[in-house]
Structures are given as C-alpha cells and as structure tokens.
Amino acid sequence: MGTTIFAEMSAMAVATGSVNLGQGFPDTDGPAVVAEAAAAAIMAGRGNQYPPGPGVPELRRAIAAHQQRFYGLDVNPDTEVLVTAGATEAIAAALLALTEPGDEVIAFEPYYDSYAACIALAGAVRVPVTLRPPDFRPDLDALRAAITPRTRLILLNTPHNPTGAVFSRAELTAIADLAVEHDLLVITDEVYEHMVFDGEHVPIVTLPGMAGRTVTISSAGKTFAFTGWKIGWVTGSAELVTAVRTVKQFLTFVSGGPFQYAVAEGLALPDSYYAQLNGDLRARRDLLCDGLAEAGFAVYRPAGTYFVTTDISALGETDGIAFCRSLPERAGVVAIPAAVFYDDAKAGESLVRFAFCKKPEVLEEALTRLRRGLA
Ligand SMILES: Cc1ncc(COP(=O)(O)O)c(C=O)c1O
C-alpha cells in the first residue's frame, strides 16, 4: 500500500501543481565534488563494466573507515562489507538470506514500506510491535511479549522512518539483551545515521553480544543526497555478510559501478560536511514543525530523519487517508497518511507524515498554502 499511495500522491502533486512533501527525496543534489567524481569515473572507464560482486575495493575500504571514524568499529573491508543497490536491496537480500519460510520477524510499526513486502517475499511472518505517539518510544514489554520460539530476527530502524524517533542507548541495550537472551539476529536499517538532531545515533552492533548477530545497513542516498544512485551497503560478520551476498548475487549481482567510486570519495569528506548536512536539516525540521503547529496540526517533533509525523485530530479531522487525498485540492500540498505504514491501520489513522528535506523556500510555500487552505 505504501508504494501505491506514493505513486498516487506524486501523480496528484503533478496534476494539481502541489508542493510535494510526500516522498523522502531531497530537492537539492548532494556535493558537487561527489557528482564530479562520478562523472570522472565514467569518463575514465572506472566501473563502467561489472564491478566486483562485493563492491569496488575503494568503496569497501571507505565504508570500513567510516565505521571506524564514527563508531570506533573494526570492519574488515574484504570480508565484512557488501555494497548493494541501495539500502532497499540490502534489506531484501538480508531478509531472504537469514529467514526460512514460517520464521517470525519482529519489526516496529509504523515501518518503511519495503519491510512488509520483503518479509512476505521470504515467506516469513511479520510480527509488529507498535510505536505510539506522542514520542514513539519502543515498548520493551510488548517486544518481549512478541518473542516466540519461531522468532528468528528483529528488524530495527533507527533513526526511524516515519516517526523520526531515535532509539536511545538504554532502549537499544534492552533490545540487544533480548536478542542475546533469545539468540536472535538483528537487521538494523540505519540510513538516517547522520540525521540526528537530538540525542545520539547508537549502532546496535556496538553493544555487548551484538557483533556476531547484527547486519547493519546504510546508504549513500540520504547521507549524500543522491537517492537516485542507489548505492547502499551491509556490514557485519563475515558469515552474515557472505549469506547476504549469496542472495544479492541473484537479485542484481552488482550495480552502479562509477557511483561506487564517487561514494567512496563522499564518505571521506571532512566532518564539516556531515555537520552542515545535519545543521541544514535541523533548521528545516524546525521551520516545518513550527509552521505546521501554527497551521493547527499537533506536531510530534522528530529527533532525526527527513520526516515529521503530525496528528490531524487537532484540525477536527480523523481520517488521514481521506485528508491526504483531499489536501492537494484543498491546499496544494501533498503529504502521506501514516496509516499505510501500520498493520494496525487504526493505530495510525489520524497521523500524517510530511518530509522536510526540501529547500526552505519550498517549505515556506507549503506552509503558506496550508495556512490558507486549512483556515
Ligand atoms: C528507513 C529507510 N530504509 C531504506 C530506505 C531506502 O534506501 P535506498 O534509497 O538506499 O534504497 C529508505 C528510503 O526512504 C528509508 O526511509
């Protein structure tokens, strides 16, 4: 349903000339030096033919260096890194590799829309644990209660799309302890690792007992604002990475050769790049959150990601899907009903997600339209 609603909403945005705060892609490309590195790689014939299955060595080394630089992790670039066609392929390949039909996969809902689809493709069974407003904290008792003898793994996402929640060290430690106690694997989607505005990003793999049981996923799409390049990666123990690579080999085999060289250069950018990315997004978060509150939404200010979740009950509305379908005509703005990210659609019925990874003037325009359209 998620993908369907994105297509419907994006088509509506075009048809009505709406400001599209639906899908999470930046409206400004990433650093010119990284784009130039991709162009130079193509012209120099680097990566124009099939790159190595695990990814080009330059990128694997850059990913390992990134894990060391930001998290103090020792990652072997030859055996513990796999480059994928975006985080999306990494999620699919990891789930297909690590679950058997009938295995239960626990995931916190609302979830990124590929999770349910990939769990289904693997023939596994998804078991949702619901994150609830106002702060969308993980309910550790509910998590414990969801674990059964059929549970194979926990599929984690922090910073979390769509709620913007950033799981704390204490919460992640409790989740890690449960994984160790019940001998579960963890697949953790950390594509928003550099977009944390309050608190800190803690990779669960850094916690005790997790090194051999965690598959960590990230992507250049968000960190370098090149979502169309689809360069993602997996890190983990050699055994887990080999399992994921075995599946990936028959999904895409390889992809994005020249972009891989460019992303390697991106990962080596100085701290000032990462700080600016974060600072710019934080300002946009604040701009959109303050404006939405002024327009009458109840706003759950996110600690991370590209997204803010709001509640439309405060506007006297109840049905987020109907609201989002009418918003382009009413106000000339596109948003996404959060119900599509829940199994329990009731839980997200009145929640609506807006993306703030857009130029400030675009956000201002959307807010002007919302204030006018909803008055
Ligand atoms: C939580 C989450 N995981 C994965 C992805 C996809 O990443 P990629 O574009 O690298 O496939 C997204 C993109 O929106 C996301 O929000």
pLDDT of amino acid 3? 62
Q: How many CA atoms lie within 13 A of 179 on its CB side?
A: 28
Q: Angle, to 10 degrees, between the axis of helix 360-374 and the axis of helix 320-331? A: 100
Q: Angle, to 10 degrees, between the axis of helix 57-71 and the axis of helix 257-267? A: 30
CA 191 / ligand 1 centre spacing (Å)? 6
Q: Which residue's CA lies nearest to atom 10 of ligand 1?
A: 86
Between CA 213 and CA 184 the distance in angstroms is: 7
* Residue with more model confidence, 98 or 11: 98
CA 228 / ligand 1 centre spacing (Å)? 11
CA 371 / ligand 1 centre spacing (Å)? 30
Mean local confidence (pLDDT), 189-204: 98
295 close to 374: Cβ distance less than 8 angstroms: yes
What pLDDT digit, counting tens, does each position of 111-149 carry?
Answer: 999 999 999 999 999 999 999 999 999 999 999 999 999
Instruction: Tell whether the model's pLDDT for residue 165 goes beyond 80.
Output: yes
What pLDDT digit, counting tens, does each position of 224-261 carry?
Answer: 999 999 999 999 999 999 999 999 999 999 999 999 99
Q: Which residue's CA lies nearest to atom 14 of ligand 1?
A: 24
Residue type, 1: M
Instruction: Tell whether the model's pLDDT for residue 206 goes beyond 80.
Output: yes
Instruction: Tell whether the model's pLDDT for residue 1 goes beyond 60.
Output: no
Pocket around ligand 1: residues whose beta carbon is below 6 Å from it? 24, 86-88, 112, 157, 161, 189, 191, 219, 221, 227, 230, 232
CA 2 / ligand 1 centre spacing (Å)? 13
**Can the peptide bond before residue 51 be classed as cis, meaning omega within 30 degrees of 0?**
no
Q: Which residue's CA lies nearest to atom 13 of ligand 1?
A: 24
Q: Which segment of 2-16, 25-39, 40-54, 334-348 scores lowest on mean pLDDT? A: 2-16
pLDDT of amino acid 375? 86
Residue type, 68: Q
Rounded to a whole number, what is the largest CA-CA distance in the chain? Answer: 59
Q: How many CA atoms lie within 13 A of 306 on its CB side?
A: 21
C-beta neighbour count of 123 within 10 angstroms? 12
CA 15 / ligand 1 centre spacing (Å)? 26
194 close to 274: Cβ distance less than 8 angstroms: yes
Please classify residue 318 by burial: count the beta carbons closer than 10 Å to its beta carbon, then call 0-12 exposed, 13-18 middle and 19+ buried: exposed
Q: Angle, to 10 degrees, between the axis of helix 320-331 and the axis of helix 2-16? A: 20
| H-type alpha helices, the chain | 2-16, 32-43, 57-71, 86-98, 114-121, 140-146, 169-181, 220-223, 238-251, 257-267, 271-294, 320-331, 360-374
Length of the chain: 375
pTM: 0.97
Report the mean per-residue pLDDT for the chain. 96
pLDDT of amino acid 12? 85
Looking at the CA of residue 189, tell me the nearest atom of ligand 1.
Answer: 3
Between CA 30 and CA 44 the distance in angstroms is: 21
Instruction: Tell whether the model's pLDDT for residue 79 goes beyond 70.
Output: yes
Mean local confidence (pLDDT), 39-68: 98
pLDDT of amino acid 143? 98
37 close to 372: Cβ distance less than 8 angstroms: no
Mean local confidence (pLDDT), 200-226: 98
Confidence of residue 314 (pLDDT cuts 50, 70, 90): very high
CA 374 / ligand 1 centre spacing (Å)? 31
Residue 204, both tokens: 């669960």
Q: What is the DSSP letter of 201?
A: -
Cβ neighbors of 24 (< 8 A, separation 6 or more) are 161, 227, 305, 306, 307, 355, 357
Confidence of residue 2 (pLDDT cuts 50, 70, 90): low
